[in-house]
Structure 1
Amino acid sequence: MKFSALSALTLAGSAEAALRFGCATLSIQRLDPLVQPGAIPSSHLHQIVGGNAFNATMTGDIGNQANCTTCTFSEDFSNYWTAVMYFRAPNGTYKRVPIMQNTALPNGINGGMTIYYTQQDFNSNGNQKITAFKPGFRMTVGSPSTSSLAAAEGHVGLRFVCLDTKGTRFPELPEFPSRPCKGGIMTVHHFPSCWDGVHLDSPDHQSHMYNTQGEAFSPAGPCPASHPVRMPQVAYETLWDTTIFADLWPADGSNPFVLSYNDAHGYGTHADYVFGWKGDALQRAMDSSCMFQGCENGKPLLSQSVTEMNKCAVESTVHEDIDGWVSELPGQAMPMV
């Protein structure tokens, strides 16, 4: 897909908005409309949040197809998803690890991923022009085929954090923590923010974007000539409640967690994004000077209650046990070692 209106994308005008908001669980099922469109089921299980237009074959303007969203901003019908984490017991059975809300989010969210659209870093909103994504835009970050620590270290912004509390943010690790984590495990997915200005997608779902950011929420460098358009820095924080398995940690101290595509190291952690903001809502936000909760309640974005967020859901088209103890991961055989 291509977008031809490159003119005006890099025109002057400061953008200062930084969004941080929660999204309740929309669905947990084996669908992947980007990498495996039309496949029912896809190869591995995903944790999905956002608008209820999510399905196996998503095309077109998602913002005009959904009628509810699990996210704080009621104009955001985008979809955000990542691989599910499992606990592997000493007897070889598996149990899905639930997600939990961040302390920065209001109480009561069903699960809850934290989504960011920033333009500079975690603490400030910067002063450069940010161009919102266009209808039909999509991208991925990371790859489940990543199979070495060296390769994982090279995927800047894809990290794990061993939580002492929900407020812990460092150190960031390129693989699963090697010890029990008092407050759970957080996965962090930072997407690139430089766009080529033409393609809404690419065959690998990544080449139309370029990353100039270092670790964590550090300021990104200038966009290259090949990808000149600065877009919002999208990031996900997913907090996994591994504490419920604390008493079952293997006696030999080995890591008992595995991602749903058979990754026992975490090297291949990855995430997917489909843009679905209604009309010019995201651009209005990027052109404003609000930050975080200050962007809610019509200033400039419409927001909704936790009750409304939790109401939105999609029915599963893949019927399999995702809540009980299972003998193998859904769609998988033995874990990658």
Structure 2
Amino acid sequence: MYWSNRRSAALAAALTLYSGSAEAFWRLPCRGQAGVARMDPLVQPGVPSDHAHVIHGASNFALTVDQDILRASKCTSCAVKQDLSNYWVPSLYFMHKNGTAEMVEEVGGMLAYYLLYGDNIKAFPANFRMVAGDPFLRNFTWPIPDPPKSEWSGDQVSQFALQQKAIGFNCLDYSKQPEASLYRHFLPDKDYLDANCKDGVRFELMFPSCWNGKDLDTPDHKSHMAYPSLVMNGDCPPGFETRLPSLFYETIWNTYAFKDKEGEFVIANGDPTGFGYHGDFITGWDPDFLQQAVDTCTNPSGEVQDCPLFELQSEEDQQQCKFEVPEILKLENAIFDLVGLPGNVLIQRGPEEATKGATSQPALGGISIPTPSLPGLDLPLPSLIQNAVNQGVNAINGAASSSAATTPAVTTAPVLTYSPAAPTPTPLTTQSEVEVVTMRMQVVVTVDCDGNPVGTTTRPASAIATATETETITTTLPPTAPAAAKRDQVPGHIVHGHAHRRRNYKGGVDGWF
């Protein structure tokens, strides 16, 4: 609790330094993670998202959600029971030298600040949602560090510039004077973090707070919102005069736990720069109650305990609230992956924008093994486990090497000419289209407390992708001695008029404990 209060006091001071004023606010602790998964019902509803997120808030978080679904949640991983919203950001990973991705510990969960900047602030309406940041950015196109705000003008106050300045990476050392919020807009490299940030790094994200007053969402999940002229506060642009609560996300990652280890830190969307950091919000508040809180909860302490409207729950209860992971993702481990970022996301360093949907390997190229909860087991996993899994891959690939799906159509048929006097070899050429079916086979590797494999279990293979390939086969027929012409040697007769089926099985392995 002492550490938590010290962190909160430091952030409150930093926020004041950045904004230049001390407005009313409350700080919503979300000490529990509702889950970590490749899910984003705002940007990619109904399907697994491209990259992993750490999610806080209502237990009814799912691949598709709306206000009614969230309001029916049984619990929340945040402190205020009346808040059934969801808050999520991409998780941070440490990429070990051997290619494994290990999620960095999120310290203390998330803090979601409700900053009450501006006049006549309105509550989020039912079904309101928005995104802050751009996951594809890999560059910062403005002066570093930010010039004084009094000098911002022209393009410096464009929405594109303000969006980029709404991201911060705060190097934490509680024995020193704190950095101001949103002071640094890029993720420092590992050498800097090791040398200077013994209490980790705080990821900060400011959401726009100026609303167009009519749209609950837009196709890009941004165009209905705008930043005020100074990011946190300032003037709203024309057409966006309605002020909503200013949301500010804070998550602290224990990067210092990887001090002196070889590797780098990468955000789940394949971003080692930090410029592509982003976050999502879907409200689950009752709008009337939230409006009452906006008007009433104005104690300058910012503590939710100082607002008499809020019904609070313990940190233990917050940490017990989890959402149900959909069946399609239950075998995927978003905490530890042997071969790269969850979803096989390609690491793209910029400065050009990242390519949407880019992956680091084919869908079957990797094996994702969840982290075993075994005492004394140090990560990354022992190479003995990796060897066991590799043996399983080799066994599968050796046991079945092809698969088939359709009957190919013969497009070229040879014509043999009867020539009894001079028999010569005859080339026979066929061209066919083959549908290749990609299969996935799952292998469970069981380990003991020392991390040694003690058994494996193989689950049935299943098809996960198809592709059509064209192949040409040329066969040389041996010469034959002159003989009486048979029906298949009569000039002009097609000797290869039937089709062949090919089996072209491509094996792959997923592993879990």
- Normalising by the residue count of structure 2, what TM-score does the alignment of the two structures yield? 0.55
Percent identical residues: 35
- Closer/same/farther in 2, CA of residues 64 and 174 from structure 1, 3 Å limit: same
- 2:115 matches 1:118: yes
Q: Give the conservation status (yes or no) of the 8 Å contact 1:261–1:332.
A: no
Q: 1:134 aligns with which of 125, 129, 134?
A: 125
> Counterparts of 2:229 and 2:61 in 1: how far apart (Å)?
29
> Counterparts of 1:151 and 1:51 in 2: how far apart (Å)?
37
State the Cα deviation string for residues 135-171 of structure 1 (Å, max 9, x = none).
1000000111112222798312111112113983437
Q: Give the conservation status (yes or no) of the 8 Å contact 2:185–2:275.
A: yes
Helix, strand or coil at the partner of 2:55: strand
- 2:170 matches 1:161: yes
The structure with more radius of gyration: 2
Amino acid at match of 2:333: D
- Closer/same/farther in 2, CA of residues 266 and 298 from structure 1, 3 Å limit: closer
> Counterparts of 2:44 and 2:345 in 1: how far apart (Å)?
19
Q: Give the conservation status (yes or no) of the 8 Å contact 1:84–1:260.
A: yes
> Counterparts of 1:302 and 1:175 in 2: how far apart (Å)?
37
Which residue of 2 is the match for residue 329 of structure 1?
341
> Counterparts of 2:302 and 2:211 in 1: how far apart (Å)?
27
> Counterparts of 2:303 and 2:91 in 1: how far apart (Å)?
31
Q: Give the conservation status (yes or no) of the 8 Å contact 2:27–2:113.
A: yes
Which residue of 2 is the match for residue 174 of structure 1?
185
Amino acid at match of 1:241: N
| Alignment RMSD | 2.2
- Larger relative CO (CA 8 A, sep 6+): 1 or 2? 1
Shift of 1:247: 2.4
Which residue of 1 is the match for residue 67 of structure 2?
60
Which residue of 2 is the match for residue 150 of structure 1?
141
Shift of 1:192: 0.5
Helix, strand or coil at the partner of 2:260: helix
Shift of 1:267: 1.2
Which residue of 2 is the match for residue 193 of structure 1?
209
What is the 5 A alignment of 1:149-298?
149-150=140-141, 154=161, 155-165=164-174, 168-170=178-180, 172-178=183-189, 179-180=192-193, 181-214=197-230, 218=232, 220-249=233-262, 256-288=264-296, 289-292=298-301, 294-296=303-305
Q: Give the conservation status (yes or no) of the 8 Å contact 1:162–1:186.
A: yes
Shift of 1:294: 4.6
Q: Which piece of structure 1 moves more, 184-193 or 220-229?
A: 220-229
> Counterparts of 1:327 and 1:266 in 2: how far apart (Å)?
22
Structure with the higher helix share, 1 or 2? 2
Shift of 1:279: 4.9
Q: 2:25 aligns with which of 15, 18, 40?
A: 18
> Counterparts of 1:231 and 1:62 in 2: how far apart (Å)?
23
> Counterparts of 1:287 and 1:197 in 2: how far apart (Å)?
19
Length, aligned pairs only: 297
- 2:46 matches 1:38: yes
> Counterparts of 2:248 and 2:69 in 1: how far apart (Å)?
20
State the Cα deviation string for residues 169-216 of structure 1 (Å, max 9, x = none).
43722211131221111110100101000000011000101101536x
State the Cα deviation string for residues 289-333 of structure 1 (Å, max 9, x = none).
334555437612221111221221112221212233521111124
Q: 1:49 aligns with which of 47, 53, 56?
A: 56
- Closer/same/farther in 2, CA of residues 188 and 201 from structure 1, 3 Å limit: same
Which residue of 1 is the match for residue 477 of structure 2?
none
> Counterparts of 2:111 and 2:323 in 1: how far apart (Å)?
20
Shift of 1:114: 0.5
> Counterparts of 2:63 and 2:128 in 1: how far apart (Å)?
16
Helix, strand or coil at the partner of 1:70: coil
Amino acid at match of 2:203: T
Q: Give the conservation status (yes or no) of the 8 Å contact 2:120–2:243.
A: yes
Q: 2:77 aligns with which of 70, 82, 86?
A: 70
State the Cα deviation string for residues 101-136 of structure 1 (Å, max 9, x = none).
2xxxxxxxxxx101101113xxxxx7x221010110
Q: Give the conservation status (yes or no) of the 8 Å contact 1:17–1:285.
A: no
Helix, strand or coil at the partner of 2:94: strand
Helix, strand or coil at the partner of 1:299: coil
Helix, strand or coil at the partner of 1:159: strand
Structure 2: gaps (5+ residues): 1-22, 145-160, 350-513
> Counterparts of 1:325 and 1:152 in 2: how far apart (Å)?
37
